Amino acid sequence: MSASAIWDAMDPVLEAPGRRADRGSGGADAPGEGSADRIGAPPPEAGDRLVGRLRRGAGLGGLLWVALLTRVLDGGGQNGDVARLLLLAVLVLLPLGLALLAEAGGAEAIRFANPALGLVLPAAGWLVAASLLRPTGLGSGMLAAPWLGVAAWVLGAALWRSPARGWLEWRRGSGGPRVGGSGRPRLGGSGLAALLEIARLTALLFWLVGAAWLLASRLDLHLGYGPLIARLTAAHFHVAGFAATLLAWRMGLERVGGRRPAERGASVAVGLALLAVPLGMPLVAGGIMLGGRSGPARILELAGSGLLTIGLLALALQQALGIASRFDRPGASWLMRGSSASLVVSMPLAFAYAMRLPGLDIPRMLAWHARLNVLGFALCGLLAWTLEARASRPSTGRLPGSAAGHRAGARASDRKP
């Protein structure tokens, strides 16, 4: 399957105006047939400005995070340790991840490809930092509330642009978007393409859940789980939820639509990571929320932890062996290998903790598992993709491994005499 066909499977609802013009008045997506006539896609320049602003925001957020290393956050102690890792996710990981999403998918792939997001997101992150410097309560919660609002905005915009929305409209008979000669929208032209779309939306959903738990913790609403568990849940959904799922999505996009076709074994590993990571997170959370000590809740937590461990180890294998060796920048390659090595240590620890093995408690998990996942896996992985994007960005303005890059390159080659 070509990268262009994969893109058609992932996003049939709207197309870039340039591509529709290239197709002309004939074909399956001629003017007047699809919803592209009703909703305009943003120009490529909007996505480029968004990517630049998000990455500058991540850089400034990193400087703020370093400056706050000597300050007491969230009262100090274990709460302060969790707050410091959560703040790194808010100030650095989220902007880098959304920049990756916008760049790899193309400006027309996400309707929130608006330069304003590059200003609003870092501002909301700095308000979270201000909230963590204050005691919990109404004032602290008001400072954290915009972060939840931005997460809801981004997820809503992504759902509006999702192929799944077009499929549901067709099922309801509402005259929704038509793709192909039969007029039936496609959620995915291949299993991996559908999994990529699901992973993209799930990553944004995990961010929204993490932002809701962050707000609850700043309002001192623990929902019966204790203050530390509320903070750990917020951090978990930002890192093991958003960042891990997004990295699995980007690796899958590279393997399926990248510079070389994916081998069969690689496709299986990609599919495993794309399935296990989004499924494992809610299972672990559900087991913990139900008690996680015995009975069904214990089984749920163990199953989720096992799925998450298998999925992230499959991701680590593909990152280290299938992706890092193809990077142009040595620094990006080493960062990607460091990201994978962190998972090899941190995820068996997570499963051992779920098994309630002796010697593993929350302080030890914070010291090893949490720091390895945030500083090693998520931060190194996102920085690796960011460095590689800056090194290999072609004249089309899109990553070579992205569907948009292939489409732009194909259009350029079609114009050659």
Burial of 282 (0-12, 13-18, 19+ CB in 10 A): middle
Q: What is the residue-wise DSSP string for 182-231?
A: T----S-SSHHHHHHHHHHHHHHHHHHHHHHHHHHHHTT--TTS-HHHHH
Q: What is the pTM of this model?
A: 0.79
What are the sequence ranges of the domains in the chain?
42-177+190-411
Q: What is the residue-wise DSSP string for 131-158?
A: HHTS-SSHHHHHHHHHHHHHHHHHHHHH
Spatial distance between the Cα atoms of 28 and 334, rounded to a whole number of angstroms: 44
3-state secondary structure of 361: coil
CA angle 273, 401, 252 (to 5 degrees): 10
Query: Is the Cβ–Cβ distance between 102 and 47 less than 8 Å?
Result: yes
Shortest CA distance to 118 belongs to which of 56, 58, 54? 54
375: tokens are 């500083």
Query: Is the Cβ–Cβ distance between 100 and 382 less than 8 Å?
Result: yes
What's the CATH code, domain 42-177+190-411? 1.20.210
Count of C-beta atoms within a 10 Å radius of residue 334: 14
Q: Quote helix, strand, coil % in the chain, to nearest 5.
A: 75, 0, 25
Taking the mean position of all CA atoms in its chain, how far away is CA 351?
Answer: 23
Per-residue pLDDT of the chain (417 residues; tens, 9 = 90+): 443 443 344 333 223 333 333 433 333 333 333 333 333 444 556 667 888 899 999 999 999 999 999 998 988 889 999 999 999 999 999 999 999 888 875 444 444 556 788 899 999 999 999 999 999 999 999 999 999 999 998 888 888 766 655 444 444 444 433 333 333 334 444 567 788 888 889 999 999 999 999 999 999 987 777 888 889 999 999 999 999 999 999 988 887 654 444 455 567 778 888 888 889 888 887 777 766 555 777 788 888 899 999 999 999 998 998 888 889 889 999 999 999 999 999 999 999 988 888 888 888 999 999 999 999 999 999 999 999 887 665 434 444 444 444 444 444 444 444
Q: Which residues contact 290 (CB under 8 A, 6 or more apart)?
A: 296, 297, 300
Count of C-beta atoms within a 10 Å radius of residue 384: 26
Query: Is the Cβ–Cβ distance between 56 and 115 less than 8 Å?
Result: no
The residue whose two tokens read 């990517």 is 51
